Amino acid sequence: MSEESIAAAAIRWFDANARDLPWRHPQAGAWAILVSEVMLQQTPVVRVLPAYEAWLARWPTPAALAADEPGEAIRMWGRLGYPRRALRLHECATAIAERHNGVVPDDLDALLALPGVGAYTARAVAAFAYRQRQPVVDTNVRRFVARAVAGAADGGHTTRPSDLTATAALLPDEPAVAARASAAFMELGAVVCVARTPRCTICPIVDRCAWRAAGRPALDGPSRRPQTYAGTDRQVRGLLLAVLREAVEPVPRIRLDVVWPEPTQRDRALRGLIDDGLVDPLPGDLFALPRG
C-alpha cells in the first residue's frame, strides 16, 4: 500500500477536528446549505451564525421566502454586508419555487442558472447537500491546493479552470467520500492553512506539502489593490441602506441626506441602490426597501 493520499489524510483530520457548524448537521437540507453558502460569501463564519439561524427560522423553505417581500430579505440581512446577496437569494427562492417545484435543484447547470449562485456556490450545494463529486473551490481551497500541490504562496485572486482541475485530481472516486474531502479541504484552508500565519505544525499533510518542502517561499507578485473603505461609495450605500433597514415606514429624503455631507456622492450612492433594486423611490420624495 502506498502512502496515504492527501484526501484521506484531510478527511481523517476533519473527522476529528471539524467545527460544529449548523449547516453541517444532518438535518440541514439543501435550502439551509444554500442559504449558508450565500451568507458565507466574503463573510466570516462567526458573523453568519446568528443571521443563518434567524433566516431559516423565518423562511424554512424557498417557497416561504418567495412569498415574502424582497425588502424583508434585505432587512433580515442586517449587517452581513453585500446586501445584493439578500436580493439575489430572494430571486433565487422565487426561481426555485417557480421552476423547481420548491426543491433546490441537484443538477449543476440548474444550480448555476440560479441568481446569486456562481461556480463556487453551485458546486458547494451539489457536494454538501447532494453528496456529488464536484471540485468545490473557494479561496480556502485555492490556497490549500496551491500550497500543497504547486508549492505556491497562495491561490491567486480568482478561481481559474486549472484550479478546478487541480482540485478535482485530489478527490476520491466515490462521490460521498469526495464530498467529504471537499469539506475537509475547505476546513483546512480556513483554520490551518490560513493566509497570514499558517499552522503547519498541526497540518495533517505537512509531510507532503510542496510549499513547505520549498521552504515556504513568500508571495512574489504585487499585493492586492488598496481600496480603503472609508469615504467610498460602498460606505455611503451602507449608511443609506442602514436607515431604510431600521425604518418601518417609507423615509423622506431628508433623513437620508443627513448620513453623508457630500451631495454628489450621496446622490450617486442612492441612485446606485435604486438601480440595483435595493431601494424603491416612492411618490412624494420617499424611499423604502422594495415590496415586490
Partner DNA sequence: GAGTCGTGGCA
Partner DNA sequence: TTGCCAAGACT
The residues that are catalytic are 37
286 is an interface residue for DNA by CB under 7 A? no
Q: Which of 29, 175, 272, 281 lies at the binding interface for DNA (CB under 7 A)?
A: 272
Asked whether the beta carbons of 120 and 159 are under 8 A apart, the reply is yes
2 is an interface residue for DNA by CB under 7 A? no
Q: Annotate each residue in 41-70 with x if it binds DNA (CB under 7 A) or - if it does not, as one string.
A: xxxxx-x-----------------------
Query: Residue 112 and residue 60: Cα distance in Å, rounded?
Result: 22
Pick between residue 50 and residue 207 the one whose CB is nearest to DNA. Answer: 50
Pick between residue 170 and residue 193 the one whose CB is nearest to DNA. Answer: 193
* End-to-end C-alpha distance for the chain, whole angstroms: 61
Work out how close the CB of 242 gets to DNA at its nearest, in angstroms, rounded to a whole number.
Answer: 5
Site residue total, DNA (CB under 7 A): 58
Work out how close the CB of 91 gets to DNA at its nearest, in angstroms, rounded to a whole number.
Answer: 9
In order, the DSSP letters of the chain are --PPPHHHHHHHHHHHH----GGGSTT--HHHHHHHHHHTTTS-HHHHHHHHHHHHHH-SSHHHHHTS-HHHHHHHHTTSS-THHHHHHHHHHHHHHHHSTTS---SHHHHHTSTT--HHHHHHHHHHTT--------HHHHHHHIIIII--S---SS--HHHHHHHHTTS-SSHHHHHHHHHHHHHHHHHTS-SSS--GGG-TTGGG-HHHHTT-PPP-S-------STTSHHHHHHHHHHHHHH-SS-EEHHHHHTT-S-HHHHHHHHHHHHHTTSSEEETTTEEE----
Pick between residue 200 and residue 239 the one whose CB is nearest to DNA. Answer: 239
Q: Annotate each residue in 13-42 with x if it binds DNA (CB under 7 A) or - if it does not, as one string.
A: --------x-xx-----------xx--xxx
- Ramachandran area for residue 252 (φ above 0: left; ψ -120 to 50: alpha; else beta): beta
223 is an interface residue for DNA by CB under 7 A? yes
Work out how close the CB of 157 gets to DNA at its nearest, in angstroms, rounded to a whole number.
Answer: 7
Pick between residue 68 and residue 233 the one whose CB is nearest to DNA. Answer: 233
275 is an interface residue for DNA by CB under 7 A? no
202 is an interface residue for DNA by CB under 7 A? no
Q: Which of 132, 138, 203, 290 lies at the binding interface for DNA (CB under 7 A)?
A: 138
Work out how close the CB of 210 gets to DNA at its nearest, in angstroms, rounded to a whole number.
Answer: 19
81 is an interface residue for DNA by CB under 7 A? yes
Asked whether the beta carbons of 253 and 208 are under 8 A apart, the reply is no
99 is an interface residue for DNA by CB under 7 A? no
94 is an interface residue for DNA by CB under 7 A? no
Task: Give the footprint of DNA on this chain (CB under 7 A).
Answer: 21, 23-24, 36-37, 40-45, 47, 79-84, 88, 115-122, 124, 138-140, 143, 158, 186-187, 189-190, 194-197, 223-229, 232-235, 237-239, 241-242, 272
